[in-house]
Chain A
Amino acid sequence: MSEGSDARMMSDAEQVAALIDGRLSPAARTALLARLSQDPEWRDVLVMAAEQVDQVPDATTASRPLHDEDATMLPFAPRVQRWRWTMAAAAVMLGVAGLSYWTHSQMSIATPPVLTLAMVEPPAAMGVSGGSLSVSPALARWTRVRAATNELPSRAVAVRLGALASATLQASRAGDATNERIYREDMKALLGQLPGSSPFAAALDSTQNAQSLFELFQQVRALVDGRAFDAGAMLALAHVRIDIASDRLTALLATDSASDTEVARHLARLHETGALNGPAPSSATVATLDSLLARLGH
């Protein structure tokens, strides 16, 4: 089993375990049940593991509450990492990638929604694996067309701002100045629809590096529906790395999926085609992601 699929298995295992422990939020539980109803192997594991947990009660004693104040700290994580001089260069590189991945891994469907840098742009090591990272042409088309529309519902504005924030960061990292400029302009147009956002629109012109942009986008996110913003960001990220966006995306869209058959249909298609597991989305998957963006952003 590859390291990637092992990591995904562990992540799925944690969600199934949280279901057995009764620690999932209603939305996260619904999203997980939707996935499990399509996966006979995991259903068998769920039944067998729940039986074991009840039969071996002392196996659950080493537990701690989900919403502890330090709930984001890995229970097994070392508090101090030893610096190894002989591995210095490699450690720096791995550390950056690892931090991004770790940050992403904290974005589980059971934790409160908080936007992180890893949510709006793929980790550096992943982005460069297939050459220089570039913004999906389909996403570029979508943001260009959609941002121009006026009088949008507030949730649609939030979704679009999230998608544009992610796209802007992706373009910035890829050195794609043309698209980055377009996305910034689109964001400014959308921010014009939000009262009290003019300082942020002005700041968009003067903010240059990716980290500062990210911090600015955090402030923009605070002006709108945060979950909708995150959903937009995840959809944009999925255009580049769907596997690292999929869990969070599924959780964020659980409510939409329950109330909107169109969203449910698109999500089901992503599940059925196995699109959520591959690193780079196929053209058919990109089309489905675009449809989801269009659905949520109007």
Chain B
Amino acid sequence: MSQPSLYESQFLELLPTIDRIAGSLARARRLTGADADDFVSVVRARFVETDYAALRQHRGEASVGTYLTVVITRWLQDQIVARDGRWRPTAAAVRAGPVAILMERLITRMGSSVDEAVAQLMTEGGHGYSERELRALARQLPPRPPMRPRLVSELDARDVHSGARELADSGLTSQDNLSAEERFSSALKDALAALEEEDRMLVTMRFLDGHTVAQIARALRIEQKPLYRRLDRLMVTLRRTLEADGITAEDAGELLSRADQ
């Protein structure tokens, strides 16, 4: 039997860490039982099939553990995109604010029912909403069935333009509404482009992706408490820019009328 290569040895040494990361990620994405085991096996196989490329290409700029976590997270993300397609919030959810995006993500991406989504958000403190308000918010979201597993090539998944998908998902049929959405999206894009890089990232993560302030603070390694005030200030700036561009509060919906929760 031949000696294992150096990378193979490294891989075997790191295997418990790799398995732990993959298992934890699978649980976080609600993969259970065989699906979770499958994912752990896929991760192991990916290391071997690529001749341990992930290990060979680590340059030492980040710690090994964090680097492996990011690589495996990306693989999981790619697997989900290949299976379900890319997920982006609907324009209606964006206009209804970050909590609506969070709810839409739970319902359409994670497969939760409205009751489950409301219950989860309530366990997180309600994000500034009462249970009744959360249910009202859920009713504002356009009907979109949870994504179902379907076979698409990775290339196909990549080629679907997110803007086109958002449009298809938005449920807008009226030409007038479409124009208003387009005008709002275009103005929002311009307003975001005018912000500093970190500010743009903060606003995008909070108000377009629907991530919580705690998640953003953790991801960008910035203090959470001042972040609330900073996001509020950024929203004021964004509101002024959009208003100067002719976007009214009615056009922008909750995005501009409700302070950050």
Answer yes or no: B103 CB below 8 A from chain A CBs.
no
**How many of A's residues come within 8 Å of B, CB to CB?**
65
Task: List, in ascending order, chain B residues with CB within 8 A of A45's CB.
Answer: 70, 73-74, 77
Task: List, in ascending order, chain A residues with CB within 8 A of B215's CB.
Answer: 47, 50-51
Task: List, in ascending order, chain B residues with CB within 8 A of A105's CB.
Answer: 57, 59
Min CB distance B130 to A, Å, is 26
**Contact with A20, one of B17, B70, B201 (Cβ below 8 angstroms):** B70
Known pairs A11-B57, A40-B209; A22 contacts B6 (CB<8 A): no
Answer yes or no: A99 CB below 8 A from chain B CBs.
no
A40 contacts B88, C-beta separation under 8 Å: yes
Answer yes or no: A30 CB below 8 A from chain B CBs.
yes
- Residue in A closest to B193 when the chains form the complex, CB atoms: A268
Task: List, in ascending order, chain A residues with CB within 8 A of B65's CB.
Answer: 53, 56, 58-63
The CA-CA distance from A76 to B219 in the complex, in Å, is 26
Known pairs A20-B221, A48-B25, A59-B68; A41 contacts B77 (CB<8 A): yes
Answer yes or no: B187 CB below 8 A from chain A CBs.
no
The CA-CA distance from A39 to B154 in the complex, in Å, is 17
**Contact with B69, one of A11, A49, A64 (Cβ below 8 angstroms):** A49
User: Which of B47-55, B174-182, B228-236 interfaces with chain A?
Assistant: B47-55
State which size class the interface on B falls in. Answer: 35 or more
B61 contacts A14, C-beta separation under 8 Å: yes
A17 contacts B69, C-beta separation under 8 Å: yes
- Residue in A closest to B86 when the chains form the complex, CB atoms: A41
Answer yes or no: A89 CB below 8 A from chain B CBs.
no
The CA-CA distance from A36 to B6 in the complex, in Å, is 34
- The CB with the most chain B CB atoms within 10 A, among A11, A13, A33, is that of A13
Answer yes or no: B58 CB below 8 A from chain A CBs.
yes
Task: List, in ascending order, chain A residues with CB within 8 A of B53's CB.
Answer: 3, 6-7, 10
B211 contacts A59, C-beta separation under 8 Å: no
Answer yes or no: A71 CB below 8 A from chain B CBs.
yes
B204 contacts A52, C-beta separation under 8 Å: no
- The CB with the most chain B CB atoms within 10 A, among A14, A43, A49, A54, is that of A49
Min CB distance A168 to B, Å, is 29
A17 contacts B67, C-beta separation under 8 Å: yes
Task: List, in ascending order, chain A residues with CB within 8 A of B209's CB.
Answer: 40, 43-44, 47
Interface residues of B in 53-90 (CB under 8 A from A): 53-71, 73-74, 76-78, 81, 86, 88
The CA-CA distance from A15 to B59 in the complex, in Å, is 10
The CA-CA distance from A123 to B219 in the complex, in Å, is 36
A21 contacts B60, C-beta separation under 8 Å: no
Task: List, in ascending order, chain A residues with CB within 8 A of B66's CB.
Answer: 17-18, 20-21, 49, 53, 59-60, 63
B28 contacts A59, C-beta separation under 8 Å: no
A13 contacts B70, C-beta separation under 8 Å: yes
A9 contacts B74, C-beta separation under 8 Å: yes
Answer yes or no: B200 CB below 8 A from chain A CBs.
yes
Can you show 13 pairs from A to B with CB atoms below 8 A apart?
A10-B54, A45-B70, A48-B76, A48-B77, A50-B218, A52-B73, A55-B24, A56-B20, A59-B20, A63-B64, A63-B65, A64-B63, A75-B64
Beyond A15-B61, A40-B162, A58-B17, 4 additional pairs, beta carbon < 8 A: A10-B58, A37-B192, A48-B73, A75-B64
